[in-house]
Structure 1
C-alpha cells in the first residue's frame, strides 16, 4: 500500500468518511477533523509508517509539518518516510 492510500484511509477513518470521499485538496476543516482527531491521526500515521512526525499540537504552525490540506499531509509523510528510511 502506498503512502497516499494509507494516509487517506487514516484521515477518512478519523473523519468517519469513506476514503473515496476524501479529496486531495480538502483541508482538515473540510473533513471535520478537529485538533483531537488530528493528534490521533498523527499517532496512527507514525505507527503505520514507523516514522516520527515533528508536530506540536500546541503550536501547529511552528512544527514544520504542513497540515494545510490532504495533499500536503501526504507529501509531508512521503518526505519523512524517505528521510527516515534512507
Structure 2
C-alpha cells in the first residue's frame, strides 16, 4: 500500500466512509472531519508512517502542514516520508 492509499484509508476510517468514495479534491469539511477528527487522523498518520507532522491543533492556519484537501495532505505526508527516509 502506497502513501496515498494509506492516508486515504486513515481519513476514510475517520470520516466513516469507504476509501473508494474519497476524492483528492475533497476537503476535511466535505469528509465531515471536525477538528478532533483531524487531530486523530494526524496521530494515526504519524503512527502509520513513523513521522512527525508539523501541525498546531490550536492554530491550524499557522501550521506548515497543508490540510486544504485530501491531495495536499497526501503530498505533505509523502514529502515528510521522503525526508525521513533520506535523513
**Is TM (by shorter chain) over 0.5?**
yes
Shorter-chain TM band:
over 0.9
What is the TM-score normalised by the length of structure 2? 0.98
What is the TM-score normalised by the length of structure 1? 0.99
Q: Which residue of 2 aligns with 1:59?
A: 59
Q: Which residue of 1 aligns with 2:29?
A: 29
Provide structure 2 residue ranges, at least 5 long, that are not aligned to the other structure: none
Q: CA RMSD in A?
A: 0.4
SS of 1:85's equivalent?
Answer: helix
For residues 32-80 of structure 1, what are the alpha-carbon distances to aligned partners after superposition, in whole Å with 9 as ceiling and x for unaligned?
0000000000000000000000001111111100000000000000000
**CA distance in 1 between partners of 2:72 and 2:63 (Å):** 14
How many equivalent pairs are there? Answer: 86
Q: Which residue of 1 aligns with 2:46?
A: 46
Q: Which residue of 2 aligns with 1:76?
A: 76
Q: Which aligned segments of 4 or more residues in structure 1 are displaced greater than 6 angstroms? A: none
**CA distance in 1 between partners of 2:74 and 2:53 (Å):** 12
